[in-house]
Every structure is written in C-alpha cells, then in structure tokens.
C-alpha cells in the first residue's frame, strides 16, 4: 500500500467521510447501507412499532398464516411473527455488536503494540492468535456453554475473545509494514512521542482495513449468535432470530413460513454487511491502484501534437526493425494512455545497439513490445515491428521467443521461479522448445552455466533461486537467454540491480559471448557508462520518443541534445544509483 | 526438513494439550452440582453425594484435572456421565460421519474454488465479475441458513433428497452419496466463496511476477507457464485458505449435522453440551483439536514441499 505522509496529515474525519461518500456512490453499497440503517432503526424502535407484545401467545392463532391481523402470520405458540422479528433484531444485532466490540477492544490494541514494538509481546500475541484462530469457534463456544450459560451476552463476550485474533493479525501486519516507512522514522527523529505517532500516522493507515474487517466480522458474529439460538442454547424466553429459526425448524412440515421470515431477514442482513464491506474495499483498492498508476506514468503522458513523426525508410538488411511504434495502457474504465509515441529503431545482425534514457522514457516498453510481452493493459497501438524482414504479430513472435529472440531481465532474483531449481528452469525450455531429451538437456544446461562463468555448474544446477547471489542469478538468466542460440538478445538493464564489481563481470560475459557467437544485442539502460562500454550505436529516448541516435563515439564526442549531454555527464560519477539519477534527471528536466 | 516437521509436530502437540486443559478447568469450575443435574430433583442428597464422589466431583478442581489428565494421557478418556458409554467409542463411532462430510466438502470446494478462482484471474472481465458476485453472496449467507433453506426447498417441498439421516458408505454407496448431497452443498457454498476469492487473488499476484515474463521469453506457452509454474506458486496460499476452510467446516458440521440429523461428532457435541455431559464434550474437543492439528501439519508439509523457501524457516 502506498501512503504518503502528505495523505496522512489530512484531517482524519475528512478522510473517513470521503471513503464513506465514495463508497455510497455505488448503488449496491447505498442499498446495503439503507437496509442496515432500516434494520438498526427497527431494532431500536421495536417497542413502539411492533404491533403485539412479542411474547403474548394466542392459542387460537397457532401457525396462523399471514393475514391483516398478523401481517407475517403467527408461530407455534400463536405469537405474532412480525413483532418477534422486530424485537429479535435487538438480541441478534446487540449480541453481534457485543462480540465485535470485545474483539475490537482486544484485537486492535494488541495488534498495534505487537506490530509497532515487536519483541516478546509480538511473539506472545502471534502465538496466542494462531492458537485461537486454529479452532472452530462454534465448537469452543459449545464446549464452554456450561460456563457461559444461556445468556446471549456472556456467550458473545467469549465469542468476541475468539474473534479478536482476526483483528490482531490484521492490525499487526499493517502496522509492522508502516513501521518501517521513512516518515515514521522522520517523526521519531523530530521527537514525537510514540503515542502521538501512533495516533497521527499509524491509526490513519489501519483505520480503513479495520472498518472493512468489522463489517465482515459483524456478519460472522450475527450468524454465530443466531446459530447458538438456533441450536437451542440461547435464552428461549427472549425473542431472537435464531430462536425463531429453531421454532420454524422444529415445525418445518407444519409451518414452513415460520422458517422463511427470520431466514430472509438474517440472510439480507448478512448479505448487506458483506456487500458493504466489499464496496468499501473496492473503493480503497481503487484509490490506491489508480494512485500508483498515475504516479508511475505521469512522466509518460505527453501531448501528441507532433504525432506525425517522419518515419525512416524500411531497411533491407536489419535483423530487427521498429518503425513508428506506439504503445498505450488502458486501465479499467479510463482513457488509454499512450506511453510510446511513434519510436523507431533498427538493429543489424551481430550489432550491439543501446537504448538509453531516464526511467519512464519508454525504452523498456519498446523491448517488451518486440517480444509481445507487455504487462496487463498494455498494447501496441501503432507502428510496425519486423524481424528478419517478416512482420512481428503475436503468433509469429511466440514462435521466435526462446529460439531467435531471447531476453535478459533487470532484477535477477525476481526473474527466477522460486519454486523450481535453477536446473529445472533451464532444462524446461531446452526440452519443450528445443526438443532435447532429458539427458541431453541436462548436459546442455550445465554447459551453458559453465559458459557464463559459473565455477560449479552442477551445484548451481541443483540450487533453488533463493540459495544463490544476485550476480550468480544474473549469470543464470544469461545462460537461460543463450539456451536457444538466439540471433537477438534483448537485455533490459542487465546490470542495474548488481554491485559495481559484479556489473563489470556481467558486461564482460556479454561482450565475450557476443564476440564468440555473433548475436545482436539490444541493450536497454539508463547508464551511459554501460553503453559506452559495449554498444556501437545508441538511441536516446525521452518521454516516449527517440530524441537522438548516432554511433556511440559521435554521440559521446558531440551530443546534439542538451538531454543527451546531461545523461553523458553521469558517466564520470562512479556507478550512480538509479534512483539518484532519476531524481536528478527529473530535477534538471524541470529546471 | 526433519527439524521442520518436528517443530510443527511440537506446536501441534502443545495445542492438543492446552485446549482440552483450558476447557476442562473452565467447564469444571462452572459445572455446578453435577450429581444433582444427572439424578434430577427427586434423588436424595445422599444419592447425589455418592454420585458426585464416584465422579470425583468432591475433589478440588486441580485434583480432578490431574486425575483426568493422567488417565487421558494413557488413552482413557472416561465415560459419559449419562449413558456410561466410554468417551473414546462415543467419539470414534461418530467420527466417520463427520469426516466423510467435511472431507467430501473440502475436496469438492477446493476443486470448484480452484477452477473458478483461476478462471477469474486469467480471463478477468465478466468471468471475474460473476465469480466475485457469487463469492460475496456465498460468503454472506450463513452455512446453517443455507442448510435450512436447502432442506426446506429440496427435501420438504420437492422431496428430491432425504431430509434427514445418514447411510454408511459400507451399507449403500448410492444411499451414502444421496444422504450427503444437501449437507455437502450447504457447507460447500461458503467454503467455495472464500477460497475462490483467495485463489483468484493469489493467481493474479503470481501472474504479475517478473519471472512469468522471463519464462514466456524462453518460448514457453502462456498455458504451460500457467499450469506448471503459476499454479504451483499460487497453490501455497490456496492450500492455506483451504486449511482454514477445513477448520470452519468442522464448526459448520455442528449445524448441518443437527439440521440433517447426521449422527456425527457435531451432533454429539450439541447434545452433550445441552446435557452438561462434560467427559463427552471434552472427548469431542480433543478429537476436533487433533483433526485440526493433523490437517495443519499436512498443509504445512505440503506448503514446504511446494515452496522451497519455507523449508528453511
């Protein structure tokens, strides 16, 4: 969840009001809220609006069907069903509220303290929570019945204790996530007391999840309360929905309508609670997801006034050619946003070509478009992609992947499936795509591992991804890219996530491989140092456009664009971190 | 792997000891005059006292607990206060009913929830919306309410299924299946709803992982990546939610066994609770806790098998 300190400083009542307001815009949420308010009103006003005393029985009315006298009929003792429903709401809702209040009182503070301070208290709370949550609540409630007796309130207090872990676990995990955010440290450094930090910063973050959980837990408590009464463990004298269901069930053949009305009311209440909780969650998740999307792509939004860039003439020799590529992302119910606005580039066979630009300049989008592997919502909306003179479409691309086109990703450790050994992940494409048998695939995978400079191939072959280092993992990924003897390797920031010394090793591996095998490489990076080290030609990208392209030497000595000059100035600094660079780029672009 | 199993076993054992112990002390302290309750108001005080001392109720609670605990550790859980039936046989005789109900429901719910959750995550769009809406409704409606309504419509009104009773599998497989249709359907609805939601979320999260794209770039088809890699990774959270559902189903069985008159341990529990037959209640609690511990152990081992990282912690 992304929460900025700014958002937290907003007055909390405002925030709460807007969440509610936003939620009630959905008709389902509004309907659910209205139903719940009506039911709560009915419970409060029952003594005044109920037509009869709920306990007054009239033997002449036993099992009476609905009539003007008894709107919903009468039960097995001739008592008015409507009046009993209205009064029953007091016990059913009241009991559920008691359970939820106890659960909140125990769960929220314990989760806050456990998540914020950690330590022995955290261990104890987590242990106790897991112990309680491991048991079926109703079984425990029944076992403790001799202690709680027939009182609704005592049983519901006990049930509240059993429900507390669901709040405690939720609050604990949310808080311990927030705990490590920078702004909490900042608040501590500036001398705010823990209590104040919790009130100002932490409660703001956990409030919404707690509200949603409360609605869910209320539904569960409501039905457990009704369930206890239904089983006959409640106070049989007082009217309750569960007790009415019990009466209806005992007379299921004589008076099915006894079962229908409390059943409908209970079903509607539980459904309204769950639907409301779900709408609240939708609003919350919608808010965060559109927020991140906006942030991530802000740099990419660009007016398309000069949409008709002059396209270069098609090349006859190129291995890969991209002409006038456009890529757009659409999120549900929103206008698609174009992030690449007609970019063109070309890679000749055996050539190493660089694409350089700040993050968000669209360079990775080009790489992913070539492979047809844009993330959800992204698609190519214009332009031409050709490989060896043949147009790339989804079907033809699929056939080229793993054979002619290979990919080296940026983050070595997140690009290996954690559930399988390195060996399995290398062998699988060799068998499925390359058609080798098991023994041959294994032999080839070990060769590939040795080829990328891994000292003990068989040990790495049997290792799981979490057992090897980042540099080692990147070598494994290069080995995987080589497995189909590709003519083109697309390398997306292949060294960014690595230590400076390992970066140099990986670049050496790439250079040596290219020299031996003569494949072309399309190298995407923000780092001009890497480009200068490897590439013959380079394209400079900014805001979804190619702004300059030239042989590396020329570009290095005489950049035409101010932006290129600025990117170049960063080679001198040794291994700038990507974020630092991005921040600087953004700074200078704005200036 | 061995220490991992041992650790989990140890934690389960603690639960198995702690829960019945707490329950014994709480129930024992609040049970009142047991002898009087059993013999009724007509019995003389001498008779009541004799029975109380036979049952050990004249001892201090801690002594009672130590006596009971000591015998329980040797496997002797005592006998029902009302029928004198040994607790062990009372529980063991009813266990197959509950187990067949809950296990059938779990397997069925896991299958349906997996298909629905994966379809919702992969296709999104209207498939996703339909699954979501059904999941909310299924979650919202209390299991015993669904059981009541199903009984009302299909057993009472339409008469398609028996309203009550249980037929052992060994007596008639077809009858067994028929007697379980409504109870399983009632229990499965809520379990399918929660599990489908969780599985959907897990599959969506996994599909967004970087390695999915990298595997695709090696030429593996989307289908192969989904079935071999994504499902394997998502199954960890899938199994966890199914374990939680299983525990919930044990609770739901109390209601469903009552409504469909299935002679399982849930029914035994509600009957003995009503009577205040503490030895039987404790026996059911021990059996339930043991089942929960076993299922959780099985799930932990399965998760460890599927997720190599979990084996180390």
Q: Is residue A24 part of a domain?
A: no
**Angle separating helix axes B278-306 and B265-275, nearest 10 degrees:** 150
With residues binned 3-state (H G I as helix, E B as strand, rest as coil), the percentages for chain A, rounded to 5, are: 60, 10, 30
pLDDT at A421: 92
Q: Is the pLDDT of residue B86 over 70?
A: yes
The tens digit of pLDDT for each residue in A432-484 reads 888 889 999 999 999 999 988 888 899 999 999 988 988 889 889 988 998 88
Q: Is the pLDDT of residue A300 over 60?
A: no
Task: Say whether A402 and B217 touch across the interface (CB within 8 A).
Answer: yes
Q: Where are the alpha helices (DSSP H) in B208-277?
A: 210-217, 222-224, 231-259, 265-275
Question: How distant is the Cα of A344 from the closest Cα of chain B, in angstroms?
Answer: 22
> Are the C-beta atoms of A462 and A423 separated by less than 8 Å?
yes
Question: How distant is the Cα of A160 from the closest Cα of chain B, in angstroms?
Answer: 16
Q: Is the pLDDT of residue A73 over 80?
A: no
Is residue A4 exposed (0-12), middle (13-18) or buried (19+ Cβ within 10 Å)? exposed
Nearest Cβ partner of B136 from A278, A368, A403?
A: A278
Nearest Cβ partner of B254 from A139, A373, A402?
A: A139
Instruction: Check CB contact of B193 with chain A, cutoff 8 Å.
Output: no
pLDDT at A578: 47
Q: How far apart are CA A179 and CA A194, in angstroms?
A: 11
The residue-averaged pLDDT of A78-98 equals: 85
Q: Tell me chain B's radius of gyration from C-alpha atoms.
A: 24
Instruction: Check CB contact of B247 with chain A, cutoff 8 Å.
Output: yes
Instruction: Check CB contact of B213 with chain A, cutoff 8 Å.
Output: yes
Helix (H) or strand (E) holding A356: strand A352-356
pTM beyond 0.80: the answer is no
> Number of residue pairs across A and B with CB atoms under 8 Å?
209
Confidence of residue A15 (pLDDT cuts 50, 70, 90): low
Q: Is residue A468 part of a domain?
A: no
Task: Say whether A260 and B26 touch across the interface (CB within 8 A).
Answer: no
Neighbour count for residue B75 (Cβ, 10 Å): 7
Domain count, chain A: 1
Closest residue in A to B235 (Cα) is A419
pLDDT at A181: 72
Dig out the tokens for A315 from the structure: 């090349």
pLDDT at B179: 80
Q: Lowest-confidence range among A275-284, A540-549, B96-105?
A: A275-284
pLDDT at A299: 35
Mean pLDDT of chain A: 79
Highest average pLDDT, of A9-13, A328-332, A499-503, B279-283, comes from B279-283
The residue-averaged pLDDT of A22-45 equals: 85
pLDDT at A307: 44
Task: Say whether A143 and B258 touch across the interface (CB within 8 A).
Answer: no
Q: Is residue A164 part of a domain?
A: yes
Closest residue in A to B283 (Cα) is A143
Q: How far apart are CA A2 and CA A15, in angstroms?
A: 15
Three-class secondary structure of residue A357 per DSSP: coil
Nearest Cβ partner of A417 from B137, B156, B229?
A: B229
Closest residue in B to A371 (Cα) is B217
Task: Say whether B307 and A419 touch across the interface (CB within 8 A).
Answer: yes
Closest residue in B to A277 (Cα) is B136
Closest residue in A to B259 (Cα) is A249
Q: Tell me chain A's radius of gyration from C-alpha atoms.
A: 33
Dig out the tokens for A247 from the structure: 């009466």
Question: How distant is the Cα of B109 from the closest Cα of chain A, in angstroms?
Answer: 18
Q: Is the pLDDT of residue B212 over 50?
A: yes
Q: How far apart are CA A322 and CA A371, in angstroms?
A: 12
The number of angstroms, rounded, from the C-alpha of A569 to the middle of its chain's C-alpha atoms is 38
Helix (H) or strand (E) holding A547: strand A545-551
The tens digit of pLDDT for each residue in A384-396 reads 899 988 888 877 8
The residue-averaged pLDDT of A158-186 equals: 82
The tens digit of pLDDT for each residue in B154-197 reads 877 777 776 666 777 777 777 777 788 889 999 999 889 888 98
Closest residue in B to A254 (Cα) is B156
Neighbour count for residue A327 (Cβ, 10 Å): 25
Confidence of residue B214 (pLDDT cuts 50, 70, 90): very high
Q: How far apart are CA A563 and CA A584, in angstroms?
A: 12
Instruction: Check CB contact of B215 with chain A, cutoff 8 Å.
Output: yes
Instruction: Check CB contact of A147 with chain B, cutoff 8 Å.
Output: yes
Q: How far apart are CA A225 and CA B256, in angstroms?
A: 16
> Are the C-beta atoms of B138 and B186 separated by less than 8 Å?
no
Torsion of CA A439, A442, A447, A452, to 10 degrees: 170
Q: Which residue has the higher pLDDT, A148 or B132?
A: B132
Task: Say whether B306 and A419 touch across the interface (CB within 8 A).
Answer: yes
Mutate one of A135, A143, A286 to test the B interface: name it (highest B CB count within 10 A). Answer: A143
Q: Which residue has the higher pLDDT, A195 or A485?
A: A485
The tens digit of pLDDT for each residue in B1-52 reads 677 778 778 878 888 888 888 888 877 777 777 777 777 777 788 888 888 7
Q: Is residue A319 part of a domain?
A: no
Three-class secondary structure of residue B111 per DSSP: helix
Q: Which residue has the higher pLDDT, A336 or A162?
A: A162
291-310 in chain B: CB under 8 A from chain A: 292-293, 296, 306-309
Mean pLDDT of chain B: 84
The number of angstroms, rounded, from the C-alpha of A161 to the middle of its chain's C-alpha atoms is 30
- Residue found under tokens 């189909």: A484
Task: Say whether B148 and A433 touch across the interface (CB within 8 A).
Answer: no
Three-class secondary structure of residue B94 per DSSP: helix
Helix (H) or strand (E) holding A327: strand A320-329
Task: Say whether A252 and B156 touch across the interface (CB within 8 A).
Answer: yes
Three-class secondary structure of residue A455 per DSSP: coil
Dig out the tokens for A499 from the structure: 């230590």
Question: How distant is the Cα of A15 from the closest Cα of chain B, in angstroms?
Answer: 26
Instruction: Check CB contact of A433 with chain B, cutoff 8 Å.
Output: yes
Confidence of residue A332 (pLDDT cuts 50, 70, 90): low
Q: Is residue A5 part of a domain?
A: no
pLDDT at B106: 93
Q: Is the pLDDT of residue A71 over 80?
A: no
In the beta sheet, which residues pair with residue A551? Answer: A537
Q: Which residue has the higher pLDDT, A466 or A331?
A: A466
Instruction: Check CB contact of B139 with chain A, cutoff 8 Å.
Output: yes
B246: left (phi over 0), alpha (psi -120 to 50) or beta: alpha
Q: Nearest-CA neighbor of B139 among A258, A156, A215? A: A215
Q: How far apart are CA A410 and CA A470, in angstroms?
A: 11
Q: How far apart are CA B84 and CA B75, in angstroms?
A: 17
Domain around A250: 30-57+64-290
453-482 in chain A: CB under 8 A from chain B: 464, 466, 477, 480-481
Q: Is residue A416 part of a domain?
A: no
Q: Which residue has the higher pLDDT, A454 or B55?
A: A454
The phi and psi torsions of A287 (rounded to 5 degrees) equal: -60, -45
Sequence-distant (6+) residues with CB within 8 A of A209 are: A170, A171, A174
Nearest Cβ partner of B30 from A147, A266, A464?
A: A147
Q: For strands A545-551 and A352-356, give the pairing.
A: unpaired
Chain A residues with CB-CB distance to B306 below 8 A = 419
The tens digit of pLDDT for each residue in B112-144 reads 999 999 999 888 878 888 888 888 878 777 788
Q: Is residue A198 part of a domain?
A: yes
Question: How distant is the Cα of B254 from the closest Cα of chain A, in angstroms?
Answer: 8
Confidence of residue A579 (pLDDT cuts 50, 70, 90): very low
Closest residue in B to A268 (Cα) is B141
Instruction: Check CB contact of B158 with chain A, cutoff 8 Å.
Output: no
Q: How far apart are CA A419 and CA A70, in angstroms?
A: 64
pLDDT at A304: 42
Task: Say whether B247 and A135 touch across the interface (CB within 8 A).
Answer: yes
Q: Where are the alpha helices (DSSP H) in A311-391?
A: 363-371
Chain B residues with CB-CB distance to A233 below 8 A = 273-274
Task: Say whether A233 and B19 touch across the interface (CB within 8 A).
Answer: no
Chain B residues with CB-CB distance to A424 below 8 A = none
Confidence of residue A431 (pLDDT cuts 50, 70, 90): very high
Q: How far apart are CA A488 and CA A111, in angstroms?
A: 53
Confidence of residue A333 (pLDDT cuts 50, 70, 90): low
Question: How distant is the Cα of B300 from the closest Cα of chain A, in angstroms?
Answer: 13
Confidence of residue B225 (pLDDT cuts 50, 70, 90): very high
Q: Angle at CA A112, nearest 5°, toward A108 and A116?
A: 170
180-199 in chain A: CB under 8 A from chain B: none
Neighbour count for residue A557 (Cβ, 10 Å): 10
Q: Nearest-CA neighbor of B242 among B285, B181, B306? A: B306
* B23 CB-side CA count, 13 A: 29
Dig out the tokens for B7 from the structure: 């650790």
Is residue A257 exposed (0-12), middle (13-18) or buried (19+ Cβ within 10 Å)? middle
Q: Is the pLDDT of residue A576 over 60?
A: no
**Angle separating helix axes B2-30 and B278-306, nearest 10 degrees:** 160
The CATH number given to whatever domain includes residue A181 is 1.10.3720.10
The phi and psi torsions of A347 (rounded to 5 degrees) equal: -130, 120
Q: For strands A378-387 and A352-356, give the pairing.
A: unpaired
Question: How distant is the Cα of A117 from the closest Cα of chain B, in angstroms?
Answer: 22
The residue-averaged pLDDT of A47-62 equals: 75
> Are the C-beta atoms of A538 and A354 separated by less than 8 Å?
yes
Q: Is residue A338 part of a domain?
A: no
Torsion of CA B181, B182, B185, B186, to 10 degrees: -160
Confidence of residue A3 (pLDDT cuts 50, 70, 90): very low
Three-class secondary structure of residue A509 per DSSP: helix
Question: How distant is the Cα of B160 from the closest Cα of chain A, in angstroms?
Answer: 15
Q: Lowest-confidence range among A88-92, A519-523, B210-214?
A: A88-92
Confidence of residue A570 (pLDDT cuts 50, 70, 90): low
pLDDT at B312: 60
Question: How distant is the Cα of A586 from the closest Cα of chain B, in angstroms?
Answer: 26
pLDDT at A542: 87
Q: Is the pLDDT of residue A1 over 60?
A: no
């Amino acid at each position: 969840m992304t929460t900025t300190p700014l958002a937290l400083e907003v007055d909390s009542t405002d925030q709460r009001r807007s969440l509610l307001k936003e939620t009630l815009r959905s008709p389902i949420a509004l309907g659910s809220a209205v139903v719940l308010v009506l039911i709560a009103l009915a419970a409060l006003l029952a003594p005044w609006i109920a037509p009869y005393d709920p306990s007054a029985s009239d033997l002449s009315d036993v099992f009476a069907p609905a009539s003007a006298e008894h709107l919903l009929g009468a039960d097995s003792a001739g008592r008015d069903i409507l009046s009993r429903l209205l009064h029953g709401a007091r016990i059913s809702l009241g009991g559920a509220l008691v359970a939820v209040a106890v659960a909140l009182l125990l769960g929220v503070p314990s989760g806050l303290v456990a998540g914020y301070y950690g330590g022995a208290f955290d261990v104890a709370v987590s242990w106790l929570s897991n112990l309680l949550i491991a048991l079926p609540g109703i079984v425990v409630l029944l076992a403790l019945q001799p202690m709680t007796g027939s009182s609704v309130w005592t049983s519901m207090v006990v049930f509240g204790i059993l429900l507390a872990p669901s709040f405690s676990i939720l609050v604990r995990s949310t808080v311990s996530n927030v705990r490590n955010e920078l702004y909490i440290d900042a608040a501590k450094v500036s001398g705010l007391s823990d209590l104040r930090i919790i009130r100002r910063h932490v409660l703001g973050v956990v409030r919404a999840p707690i509200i949603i959980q409360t609605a869910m837990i209320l539904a569960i408590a409501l039905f457990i309360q009704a369930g206890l009464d239904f089983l006959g463990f409640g106070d049989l004298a007082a009217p309750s929905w569960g007790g009415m269901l019990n009466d209806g069930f005992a007379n299921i053949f004589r008076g099915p309508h006894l079962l229908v009305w409390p059943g409908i009311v209970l079903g509607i209440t539980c459904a309204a609670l769950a639907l409301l909780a779900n709408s609240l969650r939708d609003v919350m998740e919608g808010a965060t997801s559109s927020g991140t999307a906006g942030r991530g792509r802000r740099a990419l939004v660009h007016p398309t006034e000069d949409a008709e860039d002059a396209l270069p003439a098609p090349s006859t020799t190129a291995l890969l050619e991209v002409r006038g590529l456009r890529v757009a992302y659409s999120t549900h119910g929103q206008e698609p946003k174009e992030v690449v606005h007609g970019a063109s580039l070309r890679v000749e066979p055996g050539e190493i070509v660089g694409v350089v630009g700040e993050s968000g300049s669209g360079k990775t989008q080009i790489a992913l478009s070539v492979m047809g592997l844009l993330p959800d919502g992204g698609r190519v909306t214009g332009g031409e992609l050709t490989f060896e003179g043949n147009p790339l479409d989804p079907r033809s691309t699929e056939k080229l992947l793993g054979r002619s086109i290979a990919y080296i990703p940026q983050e070595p450790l997140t690009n290996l499936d954690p559930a399988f050994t390195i060996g399995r992940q290398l062998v699988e494409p060799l068998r499925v795509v390359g058609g080798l048998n098991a023994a041959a695939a294994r032999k080839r995978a070990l060769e590939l591992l040795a080829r990328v400079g891994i000292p003990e191939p068989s040990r790495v072959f049997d290792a799981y991804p979490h057992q090897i280092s980042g540099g080692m993992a990147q070598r494994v990924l290069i080995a995987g890219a080589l497995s189909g003897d590709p003519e083109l390797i697309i390398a997306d920031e292949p060294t960014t996530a690595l230590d400076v010394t390992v970066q140099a090793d990986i670049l050496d591996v790439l250079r040596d491989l290219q020299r031996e095998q003569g494949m072309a490489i399309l190298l995407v990076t923000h780092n001009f140092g890497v480009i200068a080290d490897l590439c013959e030609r380079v394209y400079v990208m900014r805001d979804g456009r190619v702004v300059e392209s030239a042989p590396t030497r020329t570009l290095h000595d005489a950049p035409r664009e101010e932006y290129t000059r600025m990117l170049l100035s960063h080679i001198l600094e040794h291994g700038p971190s990507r974020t630092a660079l991005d921040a600087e780029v953004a700074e200078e672009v704005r200036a | 792997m061995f220490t991992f199993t041992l650790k989990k076993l140890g934690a389960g054992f603690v639960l198995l000891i702690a829960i019945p112990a707490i329950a014994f002390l709480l129930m024992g302290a609040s049970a009142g005059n047991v002898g009087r309750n059993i013999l009724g108001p007509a019995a003389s005080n001498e008779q009541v006292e004799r029975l109380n001392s036979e049952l050990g109720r004249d001892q201090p609670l801690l002594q009672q607990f130590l006596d009971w605990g000591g015998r329980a550790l040797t496997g002797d859980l005592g006998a029902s206060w009302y029928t004198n039936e040994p607790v062990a046989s009372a529980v063991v005789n009813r266990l197959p009913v509950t187990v067949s109900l809950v296990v059938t429901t779990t397997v069925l719910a896991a299958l349906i929830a997996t298909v629905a959750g994966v379809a919702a995550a992969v296709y999104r769009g209207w498939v996703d919306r339909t699954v979501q809406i059904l999941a909310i409704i299924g979650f919202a409606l209390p299991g015993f309410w669904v059981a009541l309504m199903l009984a009302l419509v299909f057993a009472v009104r339409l008469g398609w299924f028996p309203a009550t009773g249980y037929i052992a599998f060994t007596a008639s497989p077809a009858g067994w299946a028929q007697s379980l249709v409504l109870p399983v359907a009632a229990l499965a609805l809520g379990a399918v709803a929660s599990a489908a939601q969780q599985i959907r979320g897990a599959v969506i999260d996994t599909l967004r992982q970087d390695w999915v794209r990298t595997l695709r770039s090696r030429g593996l088809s989307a289908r192969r990546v989904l079935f071999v890699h994504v499902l394997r990774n998502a199954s960890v959270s899938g199994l966890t939610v199914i374990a939680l559902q299983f525990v919930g189903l044990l609770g739901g069985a109390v209601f469903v066994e009552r409504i469909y008159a299935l002679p399982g341990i849930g029914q035994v529990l509600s009957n003995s609770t009503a009577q205040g037959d503490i030895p039987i209640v404790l026996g059911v609690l021990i059996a339930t806790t043991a089942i929960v511990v076993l299922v959780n152990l099985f799930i932990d081992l399965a998760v460890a098998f599927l997720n190599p990282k979990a084996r180390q912690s």
